[in-house]
A = this chain, B = another copy of it.
């Protein structure tokens, strides 16, 4: 397994130099998020990730979860690591102080989450899924429900899950069949079978709080008849069984350390949360968060595989540089001298570091939405930015993160295919990120159909305005090499969006035909913005007389690489999306 080293300096650079978090925390009135405290979180969190979680990543894959006699056992060490995590107070970082939380900004839990995600994604999913349950309870729970469940989730004593999928429906939740029958005491009997429930059962915590989508009697069909229920694994007070039984766990391509469960709800007691029949809408209010978590998985895969590939490329000797030996005293040159190995490394790096900036930016918007001192206008803009950027971050960073993980294998040559090196595990673990929390196709429809076209481009303009301001303020500086192509791209982005909108008015298939290319285009341009921001921050540090110029020059040169070698992909996606639906829809089902 490649060693994981928490990229402490990169995290600080992104947060403070690129995204100016110091001003941000002041603006939202989070005085407690001082530079010292943030540094302590990064350092201590990084240690926990490096020393406790990373060493369990490979055993988690190899041993995996076991299912015997209805009981799920997590891989050796997972439970003990969870105990340490709880003892360290990590679950309550950004929680509501009224229920035992530390009340820090959400963005800091994202920073911590990056490190544990990169060190051990399968493990991270247990607390990660709890977060979804927490947000649901915080938004829609009654005070009593919060007292009972939210406080236990905040302390980490219990974990949580989200139970959506059934065997015949994942994407199309309108088809779901799980039923909720009202009981005399105001609770409900939940009956049905859910599949693909991540962290659905395990031995790491005392109890599990399931948030379950189900239908009330006489609920309308489709998505408008779905309600949300709290269904604990064990009754909250007695800790006796509540008839939520794990039927089996899946054998999967990767994330073997996380139990993906079939859960049978056999008249389990459930409690309605949120208004009846509005469960799907309630879910979607925090879907952004879950999707940002998955975006993190893509970015984490890029970071982890970059760390592994870079260290291998420095050590492994093969062939000579084409113009002649660069290390003549060695029997061959280290492969990092070869241009194509550099292409692979820099691709990984540009996704990892650019992706970090994108994800942190989204997390800062979440802070603004939540901050009590934000104006309505600020909140609206922050929410608009999150809405437009979330599907981009989720789909684009998982697609490119998967590419980066595959490049990591490629840098290792044949050794990359061998389990012990750990590079192929990253590929297997990451493959799911393009599937769950809405596939790439679904994210793309969400972006183009719902966020851009249905909103008549308003949210998109929030984002292009950010890019526009940056371009305007920096056009006469060293950044010109980035500003010019960036401006060209964000301008044409608006332009062809209008064209697709017009085409879609005549033929709705045009939306589905253009959507994935539209999303990828958006991703490449969005990352181009962040790479220009990174270069800007690096130039500013050098101008301010930073000692370690090497560090900052590396950032500027990676930005250049991104603009020369990666951004041109946007053009391809543009051409393909503009070529329309005809070549896809003309072919009859029988002609396949």
Contacts and interface: CB of A to CB of B under 8 A. Distances in A.
Interface in A425-454: 427-428, 431-432, 434-436, 439-441, 444-445, 449
Given A414-B432, A414-B436, 12 more contacts: A196-B414, A250-B418, A321-B509, A323-B508, A338-B512, A340-B516, A406-B431, A409-B431, A409-B435, A558-B587, A565-B584, A571-B575
25 contacts: A171-B318, A171-B319, A171-B413, A172-B318, A172-B332, A251-B418, A252-B424, A253-B418, A322-B449, A336-B592, A339-B515, A340-B444, A340-B513, A341-B441, A346-B587, A417-B431, A417-B435, A550-B588, A550-B591, A554-B587, A557-B587, A561-B583, A561-B587, A568-B575, A569-B572
A561 to B, nearest CB: 5
A419 interface: yes
Contacts of A441: 338, 340-341, 410
Contacts of A579: 564-565, 568
Interface centre among A402, A434, A436, A557 (most CB of B within 10 A): A557
4 tightest Cβ-Cβ pairs between the two chains A and B: A554-B591, A339-B512, A253-B424, A322-B508
Contacts of A420: 251
Contacts of A561: 583-584, 587
A576 interface: yes
A437 B568 CA distance: 30
Given A175-B332, A319-B171, A508-B322, A581 B339 contact: yes
Interface string A313-355: 0100111011100000001100010111111011001000000
Interface string A394-409: 0000000010001001
A511 interface: yes
A413 B435 CA distance: 6
A590 interface: yes
Contacts of A589: 314, 336
A592 B569 CA distance: 23
Nearest to A574: B568
A419 B587 CA distance: 31
A417 B253 contact: yes
A285 to B, nearest CB: 22
Contacts of A40: none
Contacts of A174: 332
A375 interface: no
A560 interface: yes
Chain A interface size, under 10 / 10 to 19 / 20 to 34 / 35 or more: 35 or more
A2 to B, nearest CB: 15
A516 B318 CA distance: 18
A553 interface: yes
Q: Please classify the interface of chain A as helix (H, G, I), strand (E, B), loop, or mixed, using the class held by over half of its residues.
A: helix
Contact of A576 (B170, B512, B565, B592): B565
A169 interface: yes
A137 B338 CA distance: 35
Interface string A146-182: 0000000000000000000100111110110000000
A388 to B, nearest CB: 20
A358 interface: no
Given A435-B417, A592-B554, A253 B427 contact: yes
A135 to B, nearest CB: 22
A515 B419 CA distance: 29
A507 interface: yes
A139 interface: no
Interface centre among A250, A516, A565 (most CB of B within 10 A): A565
Contacts of A427: 253, 431
Contact of A590 (B509, B550, B565, B592): B550
A240 interface: no
A575 B580 CA distance: 23
Interface centre among A318, A416, A424, A584 (most CB of B within 10 A): A584
A585 interface: yes
A586 interface: yes
Nearest to A253: B424
Nearest to A321: B509
Contacts of A439: 410, 413
A168 B558 CA distance: 30
A310 interface: yes
A343 B417 contact: no
A385 to B, nearest CB: 26
A351 to B, nearest CB: 15
Contacts of A581: 339
A340 B424 CA distance: 28
B318 A169 contact: yes
Contacts of A336: 589, 592
A169 B174 CA distance: 55
Given A413-B170, A587-B561, A588-B550, A322 B512 contact: yes
Contacts of A440: 410
Nearest to A569: B572
Contacts of A551: 591
Contact of A557 (B445, B515, B580, B591): B591
A582 B560 CA distance: 10
